[in-house]
Chain A
Amino acid sequence: MPGCEHMGEVGAYCDGELSGRKRARMAAHIEQCPDCAREVERLRGLSRLLAGASVPQMRPLFLAQLHGRVAPAREVGVVRFAQQLTAVAAAVLVVCCIWLWYVPGSGGANGGPTEGWESAALALQVEMPVDVSPDEQLAEWIVQDLSQENGSD
């Protein structure tokens, strides 16, 4: 690097990483040295330039999704239990509907008073696959060994 031999320390000086005597010595040197004084200006200019480089804001929806996806295991367990319960309820309703449809005199095949049951069963079936992501995430945790990624702490 051309110029003053102390220019390599200017970065640490600007970052506040020189302590005590070293810092005072560098400050005094910069007063006298045009090379280092210019380097201080350039590094400060670079910091200003970088500070002005914008990053897009995180989507608010992502934060909400994040809370759902990184939910503690206990909550994931509750969600899974609810999903299983929903599935069992839906299956029972479907069986009941089929039974009502085929059993003579039950009225199902004739469009009798079982419409509510049918729509409920359908609604439940539609709701079932919603929000399976916590399970997928849980599976990912189990499959993926992140132990190394988590550092040595």
Chain B
Amino acid sequence: MGGPRPRSESERESLCGADREVVRRAQEGDDGAFHALVDRYARRLFGFAFSLVGNAADAEDVVQETFLGAFRGLASFEQRSSVETWLFRIAVRQAAKSRRSRGRRRTVSLDHLPESRERAGWSPEKVDTRLDVRAVLGTLSSEHREVVVLREFEGMSYAEMAEVLDVPRGTVESRLFRAREKLKERLSGYLP
């Protein structure tokens, strides 16, 4: 993933403080501050968007719309949530919009991949693991894919995911459980 999330608590804390300062400056009209946010988050948001929409072109659109949306909402952002959560929250919605408007024709074939492969006598061992994991991820519903990507790739806590997805924590937990059940089933050939 481009620009992985800092895992240690202290690293995150200092980044969070720096983000708040950058946003405060951007809100006060410091043009460079918003560009600093773009530099800091563009790669991560691209990786995140790619995992959700399944192709680079749409992922770029999602990233662009996310920052445009963030810039528009900058004045009313009260920093009740972290900047990271705020940006991912916008990105999730932009990705959903992208899937609805443009991604449909691209993801339809991906969505039906496991069934068609099974019918064609596909065996997991024969396929390159990394491609296969991506493809299987693409077979999940949007809701399941979102929780898996936020947890496994972005390392978010259940509370953070709940905030990003705007659902109760219990919903995050049950979605994650069901998504993992599906992944374990579809990737059983690779698992212990």
* A interface list, Cβ under 8 A from B: 8, 11-12, 15, 17, 38, 41-43, 45-47, 49-59, 62-63, 66-67, 69-72, 74-75, 137, 140-141, 146-147, 149-151, 153
Contacts and interface: CB of A to CB of B under 8 A. Distances in A.
B96 to A, nearest CB: 10
B125 to A, nearest CB: 14
B38 A66 contact: yes
Nearest to A11: B177
B56 A56 contact: yes
Contacts of A66: 38, 42, 63-64, 67
Contact-residue bracket for chain B:
35 or more
Contacts of B73: 146-147, 150-151, 153
Contact of A42 (B71, B153, B192): B192
Name the prevailing secondary structure of the B interface residues: helix
Contacts of B79: 153
Given A66-B64, A149-B97, A150-B72, A46 B187 contact: yes
Interface in B51-99: 51, 56, 60, 63-65, 67-73, 76-81, 86, 89-90, 93-94, 97
A149 B76 CA distance: 13
